[in-house]
Amino acid sequence: MPTLGLVAHDHRKPALVRWAQDHREQLVGWDLCATGTTGALLEKELGRPVKKFLSGPLGGDLQIGTEVAEQRMELLVFFWDPLAAQPHDPDVKALLRVAVLWNVPIAMNEASADLLLRGLAQGDYQRRVPDHTHYRAIWGGK
């Protein structure tokens, strides 16, 4: 099953839970993973298992980023709070950067999450995974 990452800042958690409840049927075909508190809320409200990482400020955003970088995530839904400063903002930026780097679709609000989930449900989308070998040559890595 494809994997969907779910992340929400504190003031956006109710919106993400509501969105997931509204799309309960479409989410049946997905493995769900989330940062700690968000994952616990989703697991309780959806009545299904959610792989939970640490809370975002404790490293959960970076753990989700690892899933993206290691090609274990097909979609990221991240309801961030545009009106509140986050103490772990560098981690948030790192997560978004790695998702863009690996060409993983990112939904940041209900409208974009609806559209991405609907589009992916059609089954004809094939995400192109970028070839980053040119970076290895620049940085001297293998």
- Give me the active site residues, please: 61
Q: Which of 9, 5, 10 is nearest to 20 (CA)?
A: 5
Is 87:57 a contact under the CB 8 Å cutoff?
Answer: yes
Judged on CB neighbours under 10 Å (0-12, 13-18, 19+), 135 is: exposed
**CA of residue 121 relative to chain centroid, distance:** 17
